[in-house]
Amino acid sequence: MAGTVVETGAGSSFRVGDRVMALPLFPDGAQRVVPDERIYSVAPDMPAAEAAAFLIAFHTADYSLRHRARLVPGEVRLVNAGAEGVGSPAIQLGVAMGTRVIATAGGAGKSISADGWAPRWPSTTGRRISSSWSRRLRADAGRT
């Protein structure tokens, strides 16, 4: 969620009127009480809808990379759907964490977009990559 601080508790680092995005524990209403550690400042030029989406996508990518994949610098990671909502943040965070990221994307336009997020490595735009998983899906469907 994203919005404007309307009230703060004692010791809060935010002030009334601050633009923020937050990960509330139970996001079920227009106004929420959220602890400071789950609130982030929003850039002045970022629309509220983008701020809310940004936090969900980046939080999901960050959790996936740090806690589920236990990503460490120097590793190589594959990000499927690299031009999509969570794929883009996963590429950016993976690069920021010191890893080499290889990403898939669904078409030439999406591949070009994904290449812009990780320009340090050669592009495979226009090439088809077949994974063992996609070959298995075709085999299960009776196709070769």
- At 34-71, the pLDDT tens digits run 888 888 899 889 898 888 888 888 888 988 998 998 98
Domains detected in the chain: 1-46 (no CATH), 48-128 (3.40.50.720)
Tell me the average pLDDT across 109-128: 50
SS3 137: helix
Tell me the average pLDDT across 3-11: 90
- In this prediction, residue 129 carries a pLDDT of 47
Q: In 26-71, which residue ranges form alpha helices assigned H by DSSP? A: 48-63
What are the backbone angles phi and psi of residue 37, rounded to the nearest 5°? -70, -5
Burial of 81 (0-12, 13-18, 19+ CB in 10 A): middle
pLDDT in tens, 58-114: 888 988 998 998 989 999 888 888 878 888 889 888 888 898 888 887 766 665 444
Contact 55, 48 (CB under 8 A): no
Q: Round to whole Å and give the CA distance between 114 and 128.
A: 15
Tell me the average pLDDT across 111-138: 48
Between these two residues, 139 and 24, which has the higher pLDDT value? 24
